[in-house]
Amino acid sequence: MQSFRTELENPIVENDIIDLERKIRLFREGKIHDEKFRSLRLARGVYGQRQPGVQMVRIKLPFGKITFKQILTIADISDEYGSSNLHLTTRQDIQIHYVSLDRTPELWARLERDDITLREACGNTVRNVTSSPTSGIDPNEPFDVSPYAHATFEYFLRNPICQEMGRKFKMSFSANDDDTAYSYIHDLGFIPKINAAGERGFKVMLGGGLGAQPLLANIVEEFLPEDQMIPYIESIIRVFDRHGERNNRNKARLKYLVQKLGLDEVLRLAKEERTALKVKSYTVNRDALAEPALPITANYPEVSISNPLRYEQWLATNVFEQKQKGFYGVYVKVPIGDISTEIARKLVDVLRPLVADEIRITQNQGLLLKYVRKEALPALYEGLTSIDLSAPGFDSVADVTTCPGTDTCNLGISNSMTMAKVLENVIYTEYEDLIYNRDIKIKISGCMNSCGQHGLAHIGLHGSSLKAGTRVLPSVQVMLGGGTVGNGVGRAAERVVKVPAKRATHVLRSVLDDYKTNSIADEVFHNYYDRQGKDYFYRLLKPLADLTTLTDEEFVDWGHEETFVTAIGVGECAGVVIDLVATLLYESEEKLGWANDAYKRGAWADAIYHGYSVFVSSAKALLLDKGVNSSTQAGVIKEFDAQYVSTGEFELNGSFTDLVLQINKNEPTEEFATEYLAMATEFLNTSKERREALVK
């Protein structure tokens, strides 16, 4: 690991990578519990695959921004460490598959040299902060939200308040009221607004989420001033960390905390946290992001268009005029979100002379190119055509979003990626006029967890299984009527019927044919669906659910040759809680070390929060000795008073609640940090002494 020390300029990142290498070694030696190690590596973007012995590495790209150099770096790394493929995700990340665990520290160090991180791309952390890909060039945006998404990413990366939450936490920034970053399905979603005084701010959505039980977010602020955005987020995360569920991961998202406590109570608790915040107002640097280097070519040679009709379709569906006069944004449709490293390099060669050196990954697994001059469009189209990336119909019915499904995911039930290709082919060959239709979105997930965002689709499908006699066959749950309405309002798709997976094409034809035949002139799909009603579509599709007419082919999933077998592994969408006493006390010592490091740097708020974590981890360890396993940090604090303080087994000057929760009643000053860390140190030492006495 010596090369990491000499080649990385940021000592914090360097130590992070060295720590990962050390803990991999300890894990191999059997000195770290496998579930605890899973939580640790997930927070560093290393995710177990369906295939044993290899990992998926998720690269965190804030709001999907990536440069030519970064693409080439990731391609080189995928060749050296992975499967020579780049997979674009619905959260604007890039994933590399088939990576050896032992090589992940080295891989991470290579990425960091080009300012690319894995940190907190997975696990119980603040995940990648997404935004509308058009932000910065959108003709309808009140202002560019990119600096705000960037500031949010930077502020919460490695922030102690969000390193070990009960589950993941997701945020998005939409460019305008069209809400193309889906604020309504996020823990916190932001839509830019300008008030009557000309000041910037955000409409704020809270408590949304997809998964197996979609819940739409609540509007909590119509106009939050821009300087209050970061403090507001921190207050909510602090509440989620303290009160969120930690034992039952299926109930551990913020949306369930809102259900449990009520929206008003969550917001009240957030206000209580304001005192403890390191900043009460946070001015975002609007100029933090440098303008991208514009295309270097000024004169473009004459280009002969190979397919004039396809070119006109491409112009109509994939190209739009930016707010910057004389420039165009161009979408690139990437089938199933996969780009081979060979094509990635050829793509950069095509783009370098024609577009700005800043690409955005889109939520439907495509790319957005920026600052293309009108004169460059023919050359760009032909260049993209040469590498099979000029298909028209971006974000239309023909642009199907999908997760990896059973290709690599532990939780995948069916092969969503091949199904997506098949459905797209149906559109292009049988419904070509619909490549202009952006009103209908088709999204597929390999299981119910909605990584492919089927829960917000007009036509959504998720992998499942059906039993026919003694045999099991791959199936899809058909969901209809979801999607974005706008300005924070969205719709969750409704479950209609479950059919064999091989009949997904028939489902698509049935719905589209009925829409063409029975929709009123200019009627959008949502209005058509509402007018007909869910039962209408159940009756329409019910014949496809008839299992008495099954063929042998229907027992074989899309893209497979063997008969279907349901094989679901252990999901790793978030870390698993470890309830081992010795491990918790060891973690408390580690957190105390982090607290002291932050204190030495003068980061009082960070030091205090690490100290708070020392109290909670130590108390939880002692509670486990009594068989008490509380599911929230707030519960741990309450139970410690009941089990230890009130019984006289653990002497404190007052209650444990009052001791620990000084954190949200004091400003994060040096004086309070000094006092609080001293008390946390004493509590940990006493807890260790008690534990040692019990095990002797």
The mean per-residue pLDDT over the stretch 681-695 comes to: 87
DSSP state, 128?
P
Mean pLDDT, rounded, of the chain: 93
Cα-Cα-Cα-Cα dihedral sign, residues 423, 428, 430, 432: positive
Instruction: Say how far apart CA 616 and CA 610 lie, in whole Å.
Output: 10
Candidate CATH numbers 3.90.480.20, 3.40.50.10790, 3.40.250.10, 3.40.50.300; the one for domain 2-112: 3.90.480.20
The predicted pLDDT at position 252 comes to: 95
Q: Which of 198, 203, 196 is nearest to 181 (CA)?
A: 203
Cα-Cα-Cα-Cα dihedral sign, residues 69, 77, 364, 560: positive
CA atoms in the 13 A half-sphere facing the CB of 552: 2
Do β-strands 200-206 and 218-225 pair in parallel, antiparallel, or remain unpaired?
antiparallel
Instruction: Between 415 and 148, name the one with better pLDDT.
Output: 148
What are the tokens at 342?
Answer: 């060979």
Phi-psi domain of 486 (left: phi exceeds 0; alpha: psi -120 through 50; beta: other): left
Do β-strands 459-468 and 442-445 pair in parallel, antiparallel, or remain unpaired?
parallel
The predicted pLDDT at position 15 comes to: 87
Percent of the chain residues topping a pLDDT of 70: 96
Q: 3-state secondary structure string, 24-44?
A: HHHHHCCCCCHHHHHHHHHCC
Main-chain phi, psi angles of 686, to 5 degrees: -65, -40
Extended strands (E) in 403-509: 442-445, 459-468, 471-480, 483-486, 489-491, 494-500
The CATH 1.20.120.330 portion of the chain extends over: 581-695
pLDDT bin (cut points 50, 70, 90) of residue 523 is very high
DSSP per residue, 27-96: HHTT-S-HHHHHHHHHTTTEEE-SSTT-EEEEEB-GGGEE-HHHHHHHHHHHHHHS-SEEEE-TTS-EEE
Q: How far is CA 163 from CA 10, 82, 127, 156, 334, in A?
A: 20, 27, 11, 9, 33
Q: Per residue in 234-268, pLDDT tens?
A: 999 999 999 999 999 889 999 999 999 999 999 99
Torsion of CA 258, 259, 260, 265, to 10 degrees: 40
**Given a cut of 80, is residue 695 above it in pLDDT?**
no
Fold of domain 130-276: Sulfite Reductase Hemoprotein; domain 1 (3.30.413)
Identify residue 473 by its one-letter amino acid code: L
Residue 368 and residue 362 in contact, taking contact as beta carbons nearer than 8 Å = yes
Instruction: Say how far apart CA 366 and CA 335 lie, in whole Å.
Output: 8
The CATH 3.30.413.10 portion of the chain extends over: 130-276, 401-555
SS3 at position 573: coil
SS3 at position 173: strand
What are the tokens at 483?
Answer: 């999607």
What CATH superfamily classification does 581-695 receive? Answer: Nucleotidyltransferases  domain 2 (1.20.120.330)
Candidate CATH numbers 3.30.413.10, 3.30.365.10, 3.40.50.620, 3.40.50.920; the one for domain 401-555: 3.30.413.10
Beta bridge partners of 94: 59, 88
**Given a cut of 80, is residue 566 above it in pLDDT?**
no
The predicted pLDDT at position 101 comes to: 93
Percent of the chain residues topping a pLDDT of 90: 81
Do β-strands 188-194 and 200-206 pair in parallel, antiparallel, or remain unpaired?
antiparallel
The CATH 3.30.70.3340 portion of the chain extends over: 308-386
Specify the residue for token string 């994060």: 668
Q: Per residue in 429-485, pLDDT tens?
A: 999 999 999 999 999 999 888 889 999 999 999 999 999 999 999 999 999 999 999
**Given a cut of 70, is residue 2 above it in pLDDT?**
no
The mean per-residue pLDDT over the stretch 567-574 comes to: 49
The predicted pLDDT at position 7 comes to: 64
Phi-psi domain of 481 (left: phi exceeds 0; alpha: psi -120 through 50; beta: other): left
What are the tokens at 353?
Answer: 């002379």
Instruction: Say how far apart CA 350 and CA 386 lie, in whole Å.
Output: 9
Q: Per residue in 10-63, pLDDT tens?
A: 888 988 899 889 889 988 888 787 777 887 888 888 998 888 889 999 999 999
How many C-beta atoms surround the C-beta of residue 135 within 10 A? 27
Specify the residue for token string 């119909």: 393
Instruction: Say how far apart CA 187 and CA 177 lie, in whole Å.
Output: 18
Do β-strands 471-480 and 55-59 pair in parallel, antiparallel, or remain unpaired?
unpaired
The mean per-residue pLDDT over the stretch 92-107 comes to: 95
Rounded to 5°, angle at Cα 110 from 106 and 111:
120
The predicted pLDDT at position 488 comes to: 97
The mean per-residue pLDDT over the stretch 174-188 comes to: 98
Q: Per residue in 380-401, pLDDT tens?
A: 999 999 999 999 999 999 999 9
Cα 361 from chain centroid?
13
Instruction: Say how far apart CA 528 and CA 437 lie, in whole Å.
Output: 15
Identify residue 647 by its one-letter amino acid code: T
pTM above the 0.75 mark?
A: yes
Identify residue 95 by its one-letter amino acid code: Q
pLDDT bin (cut points 50, 70, 90) of residue 412 is confident
The predicted pLDDT at position 582 comes to: 78
Residue 500 and residue 473 in contact, taking contact as beta carbons nearer than 8 Å = yes
pLDDT bin (cut points 50, 70, 90) of residue 564 is low
The mean per-residue pLDDT over the stretch 172-184 comes to: 98
Fold of domain 308-386: Alpha-Beta Plaits (3.30.70)
**Given a cut of 90, is residue 178 above it in pLDDT?**
yes
Instruction: Say how far apart CA 509 and CA 416 lie, in whole Å.
Output: 18
Q: Which of 415, 507, 402 is nearest to 464 (CA)?
A: 415
The mean per-residue pLDDT over the stretch 414-427 comes to: 93
Q: Which of 685, 597, 615 is nearest to 657 (CA)?
A: 615
The mean per-residue pLDDT over the stretch 142-168 comes to: 97
